[in-house]
Structure 1
């Protein structure tokens, strides 16, 4: 399992680190470009829409064109998108381009091109994790490692972005596409079948999201991710307004908050979840109450260390709950359909970021505490479903649907 996942984990880590480089600078950059909070929310929401639409398509493409071509195609789109985003931002800061045109081109580059491209990475990683495992414990461990790679990007990306932003807000924007280009060259040279082959082809009808075994789990995942999406996009505004900081100070403070959350996520998903070996339902039922406590603390936090503590606590809660959701969902499908199920799982994440950032920024303009309280309600709903849903209870006793003799490696 580890051998087949390593190239995918590296790819996920690098491309999401490139994305997270931009996180500390998005809020201050948007204000320098005279964009509103709602416009920034739209940039992220349109990116999530592109990711949601593209994810099932990438899952289908895995069975048709193979893992290597999916990775290269996705990375090509991310590189072009981030390069265009950096160019548009530079022209906007120089007053060469008017704000309405800056906003429109950001939607094309940072949202559509990058959003569609970045979807390929987690879909491919989850599909390989699904075909490389046969038991609930193995599946939870594998999906936890994919989550840990994304969490590690939250450590490396915001820390690097915050440090670079102390010199110039544009430096993270210049570095991000370079990282994606270098990763593309590495994939071209190093990732070849059969070292990391695509999941087996299945000629029957694909798994549908409204399948009774699957949709309640997707709803739980939707609310978990929605709670994060509601607060992640407003963190820059929250830090700036509660602590009364300038643009570069805000970027540095956001980097500290996300660094703390990322460290906890890496520890939980990369070490704690595999070591605990808990069933998927226990992960959900223990993680969601911790996330509820985190949102309650965040709603009251008025200092940087309390905000950082709240996000670290949130990382602990979601770091337990999300691998439980992901493993439970992938166990619904046999290995030949892991591409399809991975596309649906990643589309669920994308769907929450269609709603979350736009809703979060709009609610923030009404009242700074409202998006946090809405996130608390979302994760509480996930907890209720984890206790009450028959599909969640069936996941407790589920076994991976693989034919006898199916090998552990794809």
Structure 2
């Protein structure tokens, strides 16, 4: 069945609050990205092994897998405001507890298994459950208030663009604040999230009851309309997951840095990825006019080139260039992954689909970070090489699968060319 995309618009004349919803995405990801530059050196400071960091990140991803569809459908039945407010409140509480735990670990008050389990509880389960509510809520909202392919792609690119801005901002904040001690960025995270909670509570409109969908429809992962997009996204984010957590280890080991310098330089590397993502989703995607399949093809090919370059251990410049290319390529591909299937389902299915897209992305980080850190312990280039192979396979897939040759017709009768 092909959805008539005109049915995606809710029956309301109220001005869409897309910028406000994107602001919520920005702030929640800014909190997450602020942690990324310091998670590797922090783990070594408190005595955790690389694989324990991987398990912590995988626990967060598992929460995204388990709860994204729930949040996506609840955003249509409860409304966006209560879902986003609950997510921010949970994120603030868990990050305060995580900062306190890190301080106890650095002072030696908590060590060993207890420290590891609490890392998983606060950073993994708690914060993961909070983050899992925000992207599907934002994506379902954008799908709800846009009625054509161009607006849909631009809206979904906006989600990716603010994630890229968060990556840049978080890299700068986390990297710079780490110069004052690794605990400082952890304290900053709940401070960053609090304005988001206030903004949602004060400014975000609550939908009238007649605009809510009391029984949002489920979308299965093997639905023929969406599974090729899910597979493409799964592969791309799996490749990314193999390197995301180990970036700090790569920086520290290849460049021979101490813990605080690693936080600063890793922040710079993640800044390069964020710049690539912003360039892709704020400039290239909106101006290109490319359909979702073309975005997936071009983005996949560019990201594959970045993975090949990252395999080489040839100094800081190629390392930063490789991460920039990966961010640029995935930044181009992401709107194709998120917007493409929304053009094929009904309004009642948008919340379930948004949750499914987020769950698919989260699923990649259940296995990939743990596998990546484990493989890094065996041989440093192995996780990067594995990511390159996966990216190559997915890029070929989006070039040859029939779903990406021609999407079904728009509501105005024109075909969506790949």
> Which secondary structure state, in structure 2, belongs to the residue aligned with residue 63 of structure 1?
helix
1:100 is matched with 113
2:336 is matched with 324
CA-CA distance at 1:99 after TM superposition: 2.5
2:129 is matched with 116
> Which secondary structure state, in structure 2, belongs to the residue aligned with residue 398 of structure 1?
strand
2:345 is matched with 333
Distance in 2 between residues matched to 1:199 and 1:250, nearest whole Å: 49
2:189 is matched with 176
Distance in 1 between residues matched to 2:46 and 2:276, nearest whole Å: 33
| Length-normalised TM-score, structure 1 | 0.94
1:352 aligns with 2:369: no
| Length-normalised TM-score, structure 2 | 0.92
CA-CA distance at 1:388 after TM superposition: 2.3
Query: Any gaps of 5 or more consecutive residues in structure 2?
Result: 1-8, 10-14, 414-418
- Are the equivalent residues in 1 in contact too, given 2:78–2:212 (CA < 8 A)? no
1:148 is matched with 161
> Which secondary structure state, in structure 2, belongs to the residue aligned with residue 331 of structure 1?
helix
Distance in 1 between residues matched to 2:293 and 2:217, nearest whole Å: 28
Distance in 1 between residues matched to 2:245 and 2:30, nearest whole Å: 17
The ranges of structure 1 where at least 4 consecutive aligned residues each deviate by more than 6 angstroms after the TM superposition are none
Q: Which stretch has the larger CA shift, 169-178 or 297-306?
A: 297-306
Q: Which stretch has the larger CA shift, 67-76 or 203-212?
A: 203-212
Q: Which stretch has the larger CA shift, 130-139 or 305-314?
A: 130-139
Q: Taking structure 1 as reference, are residues 400 and 75 closer, same or farther at Cα in structure 2, changes over 3 Å only?
A: farther
CA-CA distance at 1:204 after TM superposition: 6.9
- Are the equivalent residues in 2 in contact too, given 1:83–1:174 (CA < 8 A)? yes
Distance in 1 between residues matched to 2:143 and 2:284, nearest whole Å: 20
CA-CA distance at 1:199 after TM superposition: 6.8
CA-CA distance at 1:392 after TM superposition: 2.5
1:54 aligns with 2:67: yes
2:394 is matched with 382
CA-CA distance at 1:252 after TM superposition: 0.7
1:304-325 alpha-carbon deviations (Å, 9 max, x no partner)? 2211110111111111111111
Q: Taking structure 1 as reference, are residues 6 and 267 closer, same or farther at Cα in structure 2, changes over 3 Å only?
A: same
- Are the equivalent residues in 1 in contact too, given 2:216–2:352 (CA < 8 A)? no
Q: Taking structure 1 as reference, are residues 320 and 34 closer, same or farther at Cα in structure 2, changes over 3 Å only?
A: same
CA-CA distance at 1:289 after TM superposition: 1.2
- Are the equivalent residues in 2 in contact too, given 1:51–1:347 (CA < 8 A)? yes
Distance in 2 between residues matched to 1:17 and 1:82, nearest whole Å: 13
Distance in 1 between residues matched to 2:66 and 2:357, nearest whole Å: 12
CA-CA distance at 1:208 after TM superposition: 1.3
Distance in 2 between residues matched to 1:354 and 1:45, nearest whole Å: 4
Distance in 2 between residues matched to 1:199 and 1:142, nearest whole Å: 20
Distance in 1 between residues matched to 2:381 and 2:30, nearest whole Å: 29
> Which secondary structure state, in structure 2, belongs to the residue aligned with residue 397 of structure 1?
strand
> Which secondary structure state, in structure 1, belongs to the residue aligned with residue 103 of structure 2?
helix
Q: Taking structure 1 as reference, are residues 43 and 402 closer, same or farther at Cα in structure 2, changes over 3 Å only?
A: farther
1:164-214 alpha-carbon deviations (Å, 9 max, x no partner)? 00111101100101222231122111112249x997516474221111111
1:59-98 alpha-carbon deviations (Å, 9 max, x no partner)? 1211221110000111121111111111111001111112
1:90 aligns with 2:103: yes
Instruction: Determine which of 209, 227, 234 is the counterpart of 1:222.
Output: 234
Distance in 2 between residues matched to 1:199 and 1:314, nearest whole Å: 40
1:397 aligns with 2:407: yes
1:209 is matched with 221
Instruction: Determine which of 16, 27, 31 is the counterpart of 1:14.
Output: 27
1:77 is matched with 90
- Are the equivalent residues in 2 in contact too, given 1:333–1:401 (CA < 8 A)? no
CA-CA distance at 1:3 after TM superposition: 4.2
1:139 is matched with 152
Number of aligned residues: 400
CA-CA distance at 1:397 after TM superposition: 2.8
1:258 aligns with 2:274: no
| Root-mean-square deviation over aligned CA pairs | 1.9
